[in-house]
Amino acid sequence: MLEIIIHGRGGQGAQTAGNLLAQAFFREGKQVQSFATYGGARRGTPVNSMIRIDDKPIRLRCDIERADAILCFDRSLLDARLLHWADRDTMIVVNSAGLRENYSSLGDYRIYPIDGVALSQDHELGRIVNSALLGAFCCLLGSPALDTMSTTILEAAPVKQKRNVAACRAGFEAAMRQFVRNEPIREAEAR
């Protein structure tokens, strides 16, 4: 079973991202469970979306205690409280313009900063970062396939469908370039 936490602030789209990710895995034939926990979410307060993916039906009805992967929408939330759900093997993608080295002080974690805001602004999506971050997350997680994620976003996005798909693909490509092919980061990206 794959267990994923998407962490963000109310209004940033973490819950939507969780549901989109679950839909993409479901489309690939997986069993999924995606739920949000919040104490009456308000704009700006931390919210969690928890996603489980498995080949067999999922019966667990409890919070995830240790995540296989974390997608953090807001770098100000990447601290000890969030890392409580992580260990050395947890793949952590954070929406940040910073470099990996900037996060080494947090400990021995696999942290991958992706500049979701820059990618979204490139596609005229303002601060709506979930499509770009989902693209990067899929790349580093190895699934669901980029085409599945793109199709899911295309069908689910209420507006600007094509721009969201392009942002998702750009996020995937950025993660591929920075962390898979390990190409040196360009100055413009290291803001």
* Contacting positions for other proteins (CB under 8 A): 19, 22-23, 26, 31-40, 58-63, 65
Using the minimum distance from each CB to other proteins, give the nearer residue, 51 or 146.
51
Using the minimum distance from each CB to other proteins, give the nearer residue, 36 or 97.
36
Calpha distance 96→85 (Å, rounded): 20
Q: How far is the CB of 32 from other proteins (least distance, A)?
A: 7
Q: How far is the CB of 152 from other proteins (least distance, A)?
A: 11
Q: How far is the CB of 107 from other proteins (least distance, A)?
A: 23
Nearest to 145 by CA among 162, 118, 123, 168: 168
Using the minimum distance from each CB to other proteins, give the nearer residue, 32 or 132.
32
Residue pair 178/170 in contact (Cβ under 8 Å)? The answer is: no
Using the minimum distance from each CB to other proteins, give the nearer residue, 39 or 142.
39
Q: How far is the CB of 185 from other proteins (least distance, A)?
A: 36
Sequence-distant (≥ 6) Cβ neighbours of residue 83 within 8 angstroms: 106, 107, 109
Calpha distance 165→59 (Å, rounded): 32
Beta-strand relationship, 110-114 and 69-72: unpaired
Q: How far is the CB of 66 from other proteins (least distance, A)?
A: 10
Calpha distance 172→140 (Å, rounded): 8
Using the minimum distance from each CB to other proteins, give the nearer residue, 137 or 179.
137
Using the minimum distance from each CB to other proteins, give the nearer residue, 27 or 75.
27
Cα separations in angstroms, 133 against 55, 58, 59: 25, 26, 28
Amino acid at 85: W
Sequence-distant (≥ 6) Cβ neighbours of residue 104 within 8 angstroms: none
Q: How far is the CB of 23 from other proteins (least distance, A)?
A: 6
